[in-house]
Amino acid sequence: MKVLIQPKPQHMVNTFLLVFVVHSMQLGVGIQGFQRIIYLDAKHDAWVSVILSGAAMAVVGFVMVKTLAAYESTDLYGIQYDVLGKWLGNLLNFIFILYCLASFHVIVRNYIEVIQAWIFPEVPNWLLALTLVYLVYYALNGGMRTIVGVSFFSVVLSLWLVILLAYPFQFAKWEYLFPMFEASIPDMLRGAKQMTFTVVGFEIIYFIYPFLKEKDRVHRHMQYGLLFTTVLYLALMIISLAYFSGGQLERTIWGTLSLFKIVRFPFIERFEYVAIAFWVLLILPNLMFYMWSAARGISRIFNKKEQKISWLLLALMYLTLLYPMNRLQINMMNNYFSRGAFYLIFGYPFVLYAAVLIKKKLFSKKGEGNAAKNAE
């Protein structure tokens, strides 16, 4: 495997688009009902947990970019291969490939559940899964620049949904926000940990870094994207806490979608149907980038054509989605995925960065020693 990557100029993208890529990757199925799982741990201080999760994302994002910046131009697969060697490095590469495929599966499975629970209960899994898989296949044929374009329009075209979430303000009971700071610090931290399922996605920087033009601006634009996400989730949490009572929030599985139920227009009675149908635009960048990252990883390990691998992986994912799952099974799957993602995304980057620093230091000392011998 080649450690350094030099993409062709026509495959590179402007770094400012990273703001849209990061934000779109964090807007998926998790935003539909994150309020309940945070409230169960942090209660009225759930908004504090959101802020804590935002701070954690900022720190981890900084470490990710510093790790990548230690190399001229490479991705996570190349770094792990270089630092940990062929066997251990490729083993960890396979773990991240499986993580990308698991993310793809979890997103599609949760969205299908929402479609069947809210709009079309009789539509079979195979039809909904086939529709989403085909959309991803169509975009993958266009390459990474096409996927970045989808991310950009996903954010821009969904801004009107955010504006409509201001509608519940007229029904808010701000006394529901009190008492503040009643939860203990461990409870707030547990609530922040529960945000993992909702906010993962910014790790995509590990894979698209070589394709960004202005490497010196990567960290700045990544932090802008993370800040945008944190502010949005904080606003949603505050609105939900002020609109729902504690008991209601504990029983509301899809809090954000339930907020759309009160939006009324003369020409649309059930606006949440429109929001759910439009939600496919929000999850498409997630699916495209995760599948692209998994296919690229296998392509780099085995030196095979990326396009053919993506076709095979899409077919495999489609077969896994045919198996029916109930709400309890999906919830259990989400919990297991969230636990694994927490350690992989919020813990492992620190270990990898330390390994990169150690290797760079050892090699610099070795280089200095060789230079001294040659001087003698």
Look at residue 105 in the predicted model and tell me its pLDDT.
Answer: 96
Residues 6+ apart with CB under 8 A from 289: 21, 25, 147, 151, 204, 207, 208
Residues 6+ apart with CB under 8 A from 191: 38, 39, 41, 42, 45, 46, 48, 49, 52, 183
Structure tokens at 109: 């499975």
Q: Provide the terminal-to-terminal Cα distance of the chain, rounded to the nearest Å.
A: 36
Structure tokens at 62: 């900084």
Find how far residue 138's CA is from the centre of its chain.
Answer: 21
Q: How far apart are the C-alpha atoms of 278 and 280, rounded to whole Å?
A: 5
CATH assignment of the domain containing 368: 1.20.1740.10
Q: Which of 150, 158, 152 is nearest to 232 (CA)?
A: 158
**In-domain check, residue 283:** yes
**In-domain check, residue 321:** yes
Residues 6+ apart with CB under 8 A from 251: 36
**In-domain check, residue 179:** yes
Strands annotated E in the chain: none
User: Which positions of the chain have pLDDT values less than 50?
Assistant: 367-375
**In-domain check, residue 140:** yes
Structure tokens at 375: 């001087």
Residue 154 burial (CB count, 10 A): 23
Residues recorded for the chain: 376
Structure tokens at 250: 């504990």
Backbone angles phi, psi at 173, to 5 degrees: -115, 100
Could you write out the DSSP letters of every residue in 150-197? HHHHHHHHTHHHHHHTTGGGGG--GGGG-STT-S-HHHHHHHHHTTHH
* Domains: count for the chain: 1
Backbone angles phi, psi at 212, to 5 degrees: -90, 135
Contact 256, 236 (CB under 8 A): yes
**In-domain check, residue 160:** yes
Which letter, b or e, does each residue of 39-51 get, where b requires 16 or more Cβ atoms within 10 Å of its Cβ? bebbbbbbbbbbb
Look at residue 164 in the predicted model and tell me its pLDDT.
Answer: 78
pLDDT in tens, 265-291: 777 777 788 888 888 989 999 999 999
**In-domain check, residue 2:** no
State the burial class of residue 120 (Cβ atoms within 10 Å of its Cβ: 0-12, 13-18, 19+).
middle
**In-domain check, residue 1:** no
**Domain housing 286:** 9-375
Contact 276, 263 (CB under 8 A): no
Could you write out the DSSP letters of every residue in 68-120? HHTSSS--HHHHHHHHH-HHHHHHHHHHHHHHHHHHHHHHHHHHHHHHHHHT-
Structure tokens at 317: 């994912």
Backbone angles phi, psi at 264, to 5 degrees: -130, 135
pLDDT in tens, 20-46: 999 999 988 888 889 999 999 998 899
Look at residue 327 in the predicted model and tell me its pLDDT.
Answer: 87
**In-domain check, residue 4:** no
| Cα separations in angstroms, 345 against 24, 175, 288, 349 | 17, 36, 19, 7
Q: Which of 278, 315, 334, 291 is nearest to 109 (CA)?
A: 334
Residues facing 13 on adjacent strands? 212
Backbone angles phi, psi at 268, to 5 degrees: -140, 120
Look at residue 211 in the predicted model and tell me its pLDDT.
Answer: 94
Instruction: Report the predicted TM-score, pTM, of the whole model to 2 decimal places.
Output: 0.93
